[in-house]
Amino acid sequence: MIGWVDASSGASGDMLLGALLEVGVPLEVIAGAVGKVAPETVTLKPQRVHRNGLVGTHCRVETASSTSRRTWADIARLLADADLAAGVRRRAHSTFERLATAESTVHGIAVTEVHFHEVGALDAIADVVGVCAGLEHLALDELVVSPVAVGSGTTTGAHGTMPVPPPAVAELLRGRPSYAGAVAMEMCTPTGAALLTSNASAFGAQPAMSVHRIGAGAGSKDPVGQANLLRMMVGEAAAAPPSPNVVVETNVDDLDPRLWPSVIEALLRAGASDAWLTPILMKKGRPAHTLSALVVESKSAQVRAEIFRQTSTIGLRQVAVGKQALERRTRTVSVGGHTVRVKLATHRGVVVNAQPEYEDLAAVAAQTGRPIRDVLAEAAAASRDLDPGPGPDLDPDPEPDRDPGRDPDRDL
């Protein structure tokens, strides 16, 4: 199972709690873990709410009045003494440790001197331990988080008025993708940032997945123009969609023409499924060539690098293209007692092209002393009645050593 968190409306502890409840984590799992850590009574009260026309769950945390200012050592002691599952304890410890480290960095004090203020209060303990218990219950193999909206403007906290994102949030998200978002308010809290960065396996767009459950956790505010909801999707990983094809091109007018065969061979080794030259006439009447390479986008970086390495160009262009390849089967025929491979291309089950492999033809010609054109004619005649059939391809890559970058569909 994998999960994806959509933090395009920010993140906070109560938003994450609400989303976890909506994707199926039982309330008793979250509340039970919180009760084992909190030194005083904490009650979780989830309720369905509307945020800018959408519905989600807001998990309100109710606590007794407390003026306790706990240090990181106090929190660590509470976690160590609590009867928690090992995974929940590890997640919660990591989250609070990140919070303490961020606070010490932005305030210029030692971690041991950090007093958590609101972060050390009972509601933050409930948020961190509850979310960690919920994530542990889901037992996800991977948790991907979108770029995090942090907001803009200013906010007021224990240290007075601060810019948004607050210094601790900015520190916690250092190295992770974030952006301001559409609303001028604090959209990501330090607790939310610490929970995401401590538990995410990766940051990015929704991965390829078959979504089974969707949950929306609501924040306490309801700003105009933005649904204050954090979404969580849980499901099975799916095969990633195939990488699209691109053509990488460049015009070259100052390369020794004797080098072109080795350039094209290098591009095929780098992953291009095809590469070719087109004669052109450039400005001022200079003769030149356009070097083109067809490659799946996931391998285009290697091909671009090889073009720069192998040629004199100082720039190139890349465009997306469609590609349709016929199904291919490799069969064999006998020519004078020698085996020749034949590549059959089919369309809707009908053979539309049969091509004997040239290297096999050349080998037979050399062994028999016959002209290659005669060997080709005999092989082509023998190929007319070949049945592609449902059987396996006898040789899907006829020449792996000579052309390791070869695409089986390239010659079709």
Query: Residue 168 above 70 pLDDT?
Result: yes
* Per-residue pLDDT tens digits for 67-89: 667 888 889 999 999 999 999 99
CATH number assigned to the domain covering 245-321: 3.30.70.1380
Q: What is the C-alpha separation between 23 and 304, in angstroms, rounded?
A: 44
In degrees to the nearest 10, what's the CA dihedral of 137, 143, 148, 154? 30
Average pLDDT over residues 2-12: 97
Q: Work out the angle between the directed axes of helices 358-368 and 372-383 (0-180°, nearest 10).
A: 120
Residue 153: helix, strand or coil by DSSP?
coil
Per the DSSP assignment, residues forming a β-bridge with 332 are 341
* Per-residue pLDDT tens digits for 327-351: 888 999 999 999 999 999 988 888 8
Residue 66: per-residue pLDDT = 65
In the chain, the largest separation of any two C-alpha atoms, in whole Å, equals 100
* Per-residue pLDDT tens digits for 300-312: 999 999 999 999 9
In degrees to the nearest 10, what's the CA dihedral of 70, 76, 79, 81? -100
Q: What is the C-alpha separation between 187 and 175, in angstroms, rounded?
A: 18
Structure tokens at 41: 């009574």
pTM: 0.65
Q: What is the C-alpha separation between 49 and 28, in angstroms, rounded?
A: 21
Residue 131: per-residue pLDDT = 97
Residue 67: per-residue pLDDT = 62
One-letter amino acid at 314 equals I
Contacts of 92-96 with CB under 8 Å at 24 or more apart are: 92/37, 92/128, 92/129, 92/132, 94/198, 95/128, 95/132, 95/194, 95/195, 95/198, 95/199, 96/72, 96/128, 96/194
For every residue of 389-412, DSSP letters joined together read -SS--S-SSS-TTT-TT--TTTT-
Residue 114: per-residue pLDDT = 78
Q: What is the C-alpha separation between 346 and 327, in angstroms, rounded?
A: 5
Query: Residue 120 above 70 pLDDT?
Result: no
Q: Alpha helices, DSSP H only, in 270-328?
A: 300-310
Cα-based angle 356, 357, 362 (whole degrees, multiple of 5): 105
Average pLDDT over residues 122-145: 95
Query: Residue 56 above 60 pLDDT?
Result: yes
| Low-confidence winner among 68-77, 130-139, 383-392 (lowest mean pLDDT) | 383-392
Query: Residue 393 above 70 pLDDT?
Result: no
Residue 159: per-residue pLDDT = 67
One-letter amino acid at 143 equals L
Environment class of 101 (CB within 10 Å of its CB; exposed 0-12, middle 13-18, buried 19+): middle
* Per-residue pLDDT tens digits for 228-274: 999 999 999 998 777 899 999 999 999 999 999 999 999 999 999 99
Residue 404: per-residue pLDDT = 39
Q: What is the C-alpha separation between 101 and 345, in angstroms, rounded?
A: 63
Residue 117: per-residue pLDDT = 55
* Bond prior to 190 in cis (omega within 30° of 0): no
- Mean pLDDT comparison of 144-148, 156-160, 344-348, highest-scoring range: 144-148
Residue 168: helix, strand or coil by DSSP?
helix
Residue 406: per-residue pLDDT = 41
Please report, for residues 12, 24, 26, 176, 268, the alpha-carbon distance to residue 50 in angstroms, rounded to integers and kept in the order given.
17, 20, 22, 30, 56
Residue 107: per-residue pLDDT = 85
CA torsion sign for 358, 359, 362, 368 is: negative
Residue 47: helix, strand or coil by DSSP?
strand
Query: Residue 180 above 90 pLDDT?
Result: yes
Every domain of the chain and the residues it spans:
2-237, 245-321, 326-412
Q: How many CB atoms lie within 10 A of CB 218?
A: 29
Topology of domain 326-412, per CATH? Ubiquitin-like (UB roll) (3.10.20)
Query: Residue 313 above 70 pLDDT?
Result: yes
* Per-residue pLDDT tens digits for 37-54: 998 889 999 999 999 989
Q: Which of 222, 185, 272 shows the shortest CA–CA distance to 52?
A: 222
Residue 398: per-residue pLDDT = 42
CA torsion sign for 85, 86, 92, 96 is: positive
Average of per-residue pLDDT values in the chain: 89
Percent of the chain with pLDDT over 90: 73
Query: Residue 33 above 90 pLDDT?
Result: yes
Residue 63: per-residue pLDDT = 84
Q: What is the DSSP code (8-state) at residue 124?
A: H
Percent of the chain with pLDDT over 70: 91
Residue 380: per-residue pLDDT = 93
Residue 328: per-residue pLDDT = 87
CA torsion sign for 314, 317, 318, 324 is: negative
Residue 392 — pLDDT band, cuts 50, 70, 90?
A: low
Average pLDDT over residues 178-206: 95
Residue 402 — pLDDT band, cuts 50, 70, 90?
A: very low
